[in-house]
Chain A
Amino acid sequence: MDENKKIVYPYMPNSVESIKKEMMDALGIKNMEELYSYIPEELRMKGKLNLPKPLLSEIELKEHVEGILSKNISCNEYLSFLGAGCYRHYVPAVCDEINSRSEFLTAYCGGTYTDHGKCQAIFEFTSLMGELVDMDVVALATYDGSQAASTSLRMTNRITNRNKLLVPKTMNPEILAHIRNYCDFMTITQVDYDPKTGQMDLEDLRRKISDDVAAVFIENPSYLGFIEENGREIGEIAHEHGALFVVYADPSSLGILEAPANYGADITCGDIQCLGMHMGYGSGLSGYIASKNEPQFIMNFPNHFYSLYENEKGEFGFSRSLNQRTSYGSREKAVEYLGTNTGLWAITAAVYLSLMGPQGMYDLGKNIISKAKYAVEVLSSIKGVKVLFEDSTNFKEFILNFDETNKSVEEINKELLRKGIFGGKDLSREFKELGNSALYCVTELTKKEDIDRLAKELSDILS
């Protein structure tokens, strides 16, 4: 660097030469290199990093980054029917207000006293989720739904000491891929479904279950959109064989759909992105795990617990508890590992559920399920378009099959894109047996006109 042109960096107060010198004098050194000159020469960087010329001013940085971002077209600009694990729900303004607060945004692992408010907000998250899923034990949010599912299944292995898992053939392939990697010592068998309804084939389940199965896992609503109605029967079959019953449930459905605990789930898990998080290209995902209030469940959670306690003055405090389970309390003896995951999203979900209340969650569910039904009816009336699993009820997603048209999903989606619409997720590679199909999604943000517009554009494209 040119000696005459020393840069003072706004994020680095001590980059002022005179301050640096004062501090170096205090340490009795003449140049910065003396601080690390003991590091062997062969390990040290020769020359300097080959990086682009810096954008030192905030103006240049803003122009540059916003310039790149402007190449994106968002779901605010185009009409989107994408779901499949990440959803465009309405984010109440209060959610954004709270999660942009410096205090929450930049806090970290402070505890009982310094971060009392954060601890309380997290306790409220677990409490609110507890009501939504009707279970007593909920941990601080984990990375995402797929991690929540994988951890839930490893918990069942630790609790039952069994190694086999039964999962639906209709399940989310991304989550399945995660489970395959995370639970690689377990045997995973997929249970068939009724081709008319998508519902788990109970006969096949009975054939495949045995006394060495750790857990039967289902999604409700399913990845493919239908509501699984035989939860109780599935749970009973699992329990008859000493297996646990794990349900992956979409929280946005739980205002109208029964909490899995009430049809036999031992563990409920899922993703809370739908509870107040923007999509952010997938950044908004965050997982939850809830269980029965029994020691063998509790001690097998790898996640943080913020437990409430009360003093004689009636004050509440919160402390991270049972840490011996976690990799903050011990090392390889921990159940799985634990790291920083999604605290801010837990707090945001607490805000969301507080705003919505029981009536809000009920209204949300009704709104979505009505639109899904409307969409199914309107779109299935398009020539050549079929809705699969039509004998089941859809919550917010449904499959459109285009086998009877002469176009592939890819082609259809390209044409929709030209009309400013993001068509549904292409399923033709993930689920070959479903043919030329796509997974469409509606939420409370989808208007009737949007569905009508999609119907019109599809008719045009397919005619």
Chain B
Amino acid sequence: MAKKLGLIVNPIAGMGGRVGLKGTDGEETLKKALMLGAKKEAPDKAKKALKYIRENIDEIEILTYPSDMGQNECIELGLNHKVIGEIHYEMTTYKDTEEAAKRMMENDVDLILFAGGDGTARNICSIIGDKIPVIGIPAGVKIHSAVFATNPLNAGRIVEEFFKNPNMELRESEVMDIDEDEFRKGRVAAKLYGYMKVPYQRAYVQSLKSGGIYSDEISLEGIADYVIENMEKDCFYLIGAGTTTRKILERLKLPYTLLGVDIVKDKKLVLNDANEKDILRIVDSNKFKIIVSPIGGQGYIFGRGNQQLSPAVIKACGKDNVIVISTPGKIASLKSKPLLVDTGDDEADEMLKGYYRVIVGYDEIYVYKCS
């Protein structure tokens, strides 16, 4: 039976970029973009990926949404497809994206290919979470999330491999977005919104020649076990957001907050999803350490998705009590670029700079720079 590909194009994604607007979230901004003469770019980008799919995958069933949200692109390329929903307005909104994602899920698609930016990723994530694998065609102004291929053609290639290679690894990847109002004012305040499953192309590993390489999953367990074994008595551990840090709580069999800060002491849970106030109250004058993991591909350890770990918390903690953990794959994806901090507080940022003993496996340490 042919595999099912869900296709969602957010036609307005990226329109703000060319005309100097940072993103197109919100109707006002969109109107402004249109007034400035912005053109739809996402459909063209989607077509590049679809063209590759047409030429390289024989048996595939495409489920998509009307008009510019996928139908038109398929018609233009002569691709067989099935339209599974409807849109009511000429100008689509995030609600249409969410609705489309919902329909895709109901129709049991194997993979969702979407064209858009961080906003689109976020909308899809809010519906499907990690239930269906996705791959994004980068077409928006903001591309901070790790769910996008590097270009439309490669998105097509990933779809091809996904359908041809049943063993393709899936990785949970960050969905990030920034507050656009703040962004337009010149301040980056990225937030981690969740994780989606993305087919992982083994760009950094050999296959046939070398046999297997330790998967990230094994590294994750090793990291978590090592951190747990070295936990000090009577010390509070503030465990930041992310899938790497989540593993620690999983191995401790404690409930966790994927996108928040959890506090652990003597291997017992103190508080889930703590905010800055909670943290300051709990740690007070006690000994505490922070455990964080860099955002994949970007390298931020503070200031993206960890806002609860505020400058005040960081200053009370001190650099020596910051434990950085990461899978080796995530470190490799930084291509030797340093880890980054952006707490919004120069003094805290300065304090955090320097070298870290990053834990990358059980008793495996990489010494890595942060600046």
Contacts and interface: CB of A to CB of B under 8 A. Distances in A.
Bound pair: A and B?
yes
A323 B213 contact: yes
What are the 10 A-B residue pairs with the smallest beta carbon separation, nearest first?
A: A323-B211, A321-B211, A111-B209, A324-B214, A324-B212, A323-B210, A320-B211, A330-B214, A319-B208, A329-B213
A78 interface: no
B361 A329 contact: no
B86 to A, nearest CB: 46
B214 A320 contact: no
Interface in B164-219: 208-214, 218
Interface in A314-336: 319-324, 328-333
B240 interface: no
A112 B208 contact: yes
Interface string A104-116: 0000000110000
Nearest to A112: B208
B209 A329 contact: no
B362 interface: yes
Main secondary structure of the interface of B (DSSP, over half): loop
Contacts of B210: 320, 323, 328-329
Contacts of B211: 305, 319-324, 329
Contact of B212 (A112, A329, A333): A329
B364 interface: yes
13 contacts: A111-B209, A112-B209, A305-B211, A319-B209, A319-B211, A323-B210, A324-B218, A328-B210, A329-B211, A329-B213, A329-B214, A330-B213, A331-B364
A111 B209 CA distance: 6
Contacts, number: 40
Interface in B74-99: none
Contacts of A112: 208-209
Interface in A99-133: 111-112
A284 B213 CA distance: 33
B222 interface: yes
Interface in B320-371: 361-364
A333 B364 contact: yes
**Contact-residue size bin, chain A (C-beta under 8 Å from the other chain):** 10 to 19
B144 to A, nearest CB: 31
A332 B362 CA distance: 10
A322 B218 CA distance: 14
Contacts of B361: 333
B213 to A, nearest CB: 5
Nearest to B209: A111
A319 B209 CA distance: 6
Contact of A323 (B212, B222, B363, B364): B212
B159 to A, nearest CB: 25
B208 A322 contact: no
B208 A333 contact: no
Nearest to B211: A323
Contacts of A319: 208-209, 211
Interface of B: 208-214, 218, 222, 361-364
A324 B214 CA distance: 5
Contacts of A328: 210
Contacts of A111: 208-209
B210 to A, nearest CB: 5
A320 B210 CA distance: 6
A333 to B, nearest CB: 6
Interface in A367-411: none
B212 to A, nearest CB: 5
Nearest to A114: B209
Contacts of A331: 364
A123 B364 CA distance: 33
A324 B213 contact: yes
Contact of B222 (A320, A321, A329, A333): A333
Contacts of A323: 210-213
A119 B213 CA distance: 20
A332 B364 contact: yes
A333 B222 CA distance: 10
B366 to A, nearest CB: 10
A242 B213 CA distance: 32
Given A329-B214, A333-B214, A320 B364 contact: no
Contacts of A329: 210-214
A400 to B, nearest CB: 50
Contacts of B362: 333
A320 B363 CA distance: 26
A112 B211 CA distance: 11
B212 A322 contact: yes
A140 to B, nearest CB: 13
A428 B362 CA distance: 48
A220 to B, nearest CB: 33
A286 to B, nearest CB: 23
Given A112-B209, A329-B212, A333-B222, 11 more contacts: A112-B208, A305-B211, A319-B208, A321-B211, A323-B213, A324-B213, A328-B210, A331-B364, A333-B214, A333-B361, A333-B362
Interface string A251-282: 00000000000000000000000000000000
Contacts of B363: 332
Interface in A327-374: 328-333
A111 B211 CA distance: 11
A323 B210 CA distance: 6
A359 to B, nearest CB: 37
B207 to A, nearest CB: 9
Nearest to A307: B211
A321 B212 contact: yes
A87 B282 CA distance: 72
Nearest to B219: A333
Nearest to B215: A324
Contacts of A305: 211
Contacts of B209: 111-112, 319-320
Nearest to B362: A333
A100 B101 CA distance: 65
A82 to B, nearest CB: 41
A13 to B, nearest CB: 30
Contacts of A321: 211-212
Nearest to A304: B211
Contacts of A332: 363-364
Nearest to A329: B213
A324 B205 CA distance: 11
Contacts of B212: 321-324, 329
A323 B205 CA distance: 12
B41 to A, nearest CB: 42
A305 B212 CA distance: 12
A276 B150 CA distance: 55
Contacts of A320: 209-211
Nearest to A109: B209
A130 to B, nearest CB: 20
A299 to B, nearest CB: 11
Chain A CB within 10 Å, residue with most, of B208, B218, B363 = B208
A319 B211 CA distance: 7
Nearest to A309: B208
A330 B361 CA distance: 11
